[in-house]
Structure 1
Amino acid sequence: MDPHLLRTYVTVARLSSFSEAARELGYTQSAVSQHIAALEQDLGATLLTRRPVAPTAAGGRLLEHAEPLLLRLDAARADVARTAAAPAHGLTLAAAPTALGPRILAALPAAGVTLRVTARDVVPAAVATGTADIGLTDGLVAPSDPLRLPDVAPLITRGVGEEPVCVLLPDTHPLSRRTGLRLGDLADARWIDAPDTALPLAHLRAANGGHGFRCALRYEGTDVSVLTALAAVGHGLVLLPRPAATGVPGTVAVPIAHPRVVHRTELVCAGAPGGAAADFLDLLVRAASRS
Structure 2
Amino acid sequence: MDPHLLRTYVAVARLASFSDAARELGYTQSAVSQHVAALEADLGLPLLTRRPVAPTPAGERLLEHAGALLLRLDAARADLDRFAAAPRATLNVAASPLALHPRALAALPATGVTLRALPRDRVPAAVATGEADAGLVDGIAAPSDPLRLPDIAPLAATRVAEEPLAVVLPATHPLAGRTGVRLDDLVDARWLDAPAAGVPLGELRAVHGGPAGRGFRTALRYEGTDTRTLAALAADGHGLALLPLPAAGGVPGAAAVPLVAPRLVHRTELLLAAGARREAAGPVAEFSRRLRS
Q: Find the aligned partners of 2:40 and 2:181 in 1 and give their Cα distance.
A: 56
Equivalence for 1:35: 35
Q: Is it true that 1:58 corresponds to 2:53 in the alignment?
A: no
**TM-score, normalised via structure 1 length:** 0.93
Q: Is the 8 A contact 1:101 1:243 kept in 2?
A: no
Q: Which amino acid aligns with 2:203?
A: H
Equivalence for 1:289: none
Equivalence for 1:243: 246
Equivalence for 2:4: 4
Tell me the CA shift for residue 56 of structure 1: 1.0
> Secondary structure at the residue paired with 1:164?
strand
**Are the structure 2 counterparts of residues 47 and 219 from structure 1 closer, same or farther at C-alpha, using a change threshold of 3 Å?**
farther
**Are the structure 2 counterparts of residues 34 and 221 from structure 1 closer, same or farther at C-alpha, using a change threshold of 3 Å?**
farther
Q: 2:226 aligns with which of 223, 227, 232?
A: 223
Q: Which amino acid aligns with 1:111?
A: T
Q: 1:281 aligns with which of 277, 285, 288?
A: 288
Q: Which amino acid aligns with 2:247?
A: A
Per-residue Cα deviation, 1:119-166 (whole angstroms, up to 9, x for no partner): 011000000000000101111111000110011111111111100111
Tell me the CA shift for residue 223 of structure 1: 3.5
Q: Find the aligned partners of 1:237 and 1:192 in 2 and give their Cα distance.
A: 6
> Secondary structure at the residue paired with 2:63?
helix
Q: Is it true that 1:130 corresponds to 2:133 in the alignment?
A: no
Tell me the CA shift for residue 260 of structure 1: 1.4
Q: Which amino acid aligns with 1:198?
A: G
* Unmatched 5+ stretches in structure 2: none
Q: Find the aligned partners of 1:219 and 1:14 in 2 and give their Cα distance.
A: 26
**Are the structure 2 counterparts of residues 230 and 49 from structure 1 closer, same or farther at C-alpha, using a change threshold of 3 Å?**
farther
Q: Which amino acid aligns with 2:286?
A: D
> Secondary structure at the residue paired with 2:120?
coil
Q: Is the 8 A contact 2:159 2:267 kept in 1?
A: yes
Q: Which amino acid aligns with 1:280?
A: F
Q: Which amino acid aligns with 2:2?
A: D
**Are the structure 2 counterparts of residues 224 and 23 from structure 1 closer, same or farther at C-alpha, using a change threshold of 3 Å?**
farther
Query: Is the deviation greater in 107-116 or in 127-136?
Result: 107-116
Equivalence for 2:237: 234
Q: Find the aligned partners of 1:40 and 1:24 in 2 and give their Cα distance.
A: 21
Equivalence for 1:185: 185
**Pairing 1:113-124 to 2, within 5 Å after superposition:** 113-124=113-124
> Secondary structure at the residue paired with 1:74?
helix
Tell me the CA shift for residue 209 of structure 1: 2.6
> Secondary structure at the residue paired with 1:284?
helix
Per-residue Cα deviation, 1:30-59 (whole angstroms, up to 9, x for no partner): 111111111111111111112221111100
Q: Which amino acid aligns with 1:181?
A: V
Q: Find the aligned partners of 2:272 and 2:109 in 1 and give their Cα distance.
A: 17
Tell me the CA shift for residue 265 of structure 1: 0.6
Q: Find the aligned partners of 1:105 and 1:278 in 2 and give their Cα distance.
A: 15
* Unmatched 5+ stretches in structure 1: 287-291
**Are the structure 2 counterparts of residues 210 and 279 from structure 1 closer, same or farther at C-alpha, using a change threshold of 3 Å?**
farther
> Secondary structure at the residue paired with 2:291?
helix
> Secondary structure at the residue paired with 1:116?
strand
Query: Is the deviation greater in 58-67 or in 240-249?
Result: 240-249
**TM-score, normalised via structure 2 length:** 0.93
The percentage of aligned residue pairs carrying the same residue is: 70
Q: Find the aligned partners of 1:120 and 1:43 in 2 and give their Cα distance.
A: 34
Q: Which amino acid aligns with 1:250?
A: G
Tell me the CA shift for residue 279 of structure 1: 1.5
